[in-house]
Amino acid sequence: MLVFQTATLREDVTFGGEITARLAVSTSGTDADYVVKLIDVYPPNMQDNLYQSNPKVHLAGYQQLVRGEIMRGRFRRSFAAPEPFTPDQVTQVNFRLQDVLHTFKKGHRIMVQVQSSWFPAFDRNPQRYVANIYRADEGDFIRATARVWMDRTATSGIEVQVLRHPSPVPGR
């Protein structure tokens, strides 16, 4: 899992609209999944909510999942025509997460996590391309190395729209 996190926010930041993941990736296998999660990280000194119903959840340092999406790599170009990866070849995998309207409050952090599995929320990928993943047998499951590239020739990131907060009116 790769984790990217901002510094502590000095003001509220609101994301609104589409979120697009643009990943330059490679795998030593011929199939792979890519998961991108957008997370709101609460401050380490955040007080618990008096009305919170679950006493086991504490807000100090809490990581709130704002949006998360998985892309099965075989469908990176088309859901109708899946295709394998060429092992160790850098390949672009672009996909949209669900739209968002979320304000990251002053004192929080914005975190993005990128990972290659979300099991058990989503079934395991065998890492080897098979015609029907739901009919994969034990021998189809292999160990693979997944890489996310970030250099001059292969860039990865997310695109979001940041909404501007109105400036306070002086004297009010």
Q: What is the pLDDT of residues 134-163, one digit of tens each?
A: 999 999 999 999 999 998 888 999 999 999
Task: Label residue 171 by pLDDT band (50, 70, 90).
Answer: low
Q: Identify whether 156 is part of a domain.
A: yes
Average pLDDT over residues 97-120: 96
Q: Identify whether 42 is part of a domain.
A: yes
Count of beta carbons in the 10 Å neighbourhood of residue 147 = 16
Q: What is the CATH number of the domain that holds 75?
A: 2.60.120.260
Q: Identify whether 58 is part of a domain.
A: yes
CA 81, CA 76: separation in Å to the nearest integer?
Answer: 10
Q: Identify whether 49 is part of a domain.
A: yes
Structure confidence at residue 117 (pLDDT): 95
Q: Identify whether 140 is part of a domain.
A: yes
| Domain count of the fold of the chain | 1
Structure confidence at residue 54 (pLDDT): 80
Torsion sign over Cα 62, 36, 38, 101: negative
pTM of the full predicted structure? 0.90
CA 134, CA 84: separation in Å to the nearest integer?
Answer: 16
Instruction: List, for residues 4-17, the tens digit of each pLDDT value.
Output: 999 999 999 999 99
Average pLDDT over residues 113-135: 95
Q: Identify whether 7 is part of a domain.
A: yes
Q: Identify whether 22 is part of a domain.
A: yes
Proportion of the chain above pLDDT 90, given as a percent: 83
Average pLDDT over residues 110-125: 96
Q: Identify whether 169 is part of a domain.
A: no
Domain span at residue 91?
2-163
CA 68, CA 154: separation in Å to the nearest integer?
Answer: 23
User: Among 126, 22, 142, which residue's Cα sits nearest to residue 74?
Assistant: 126
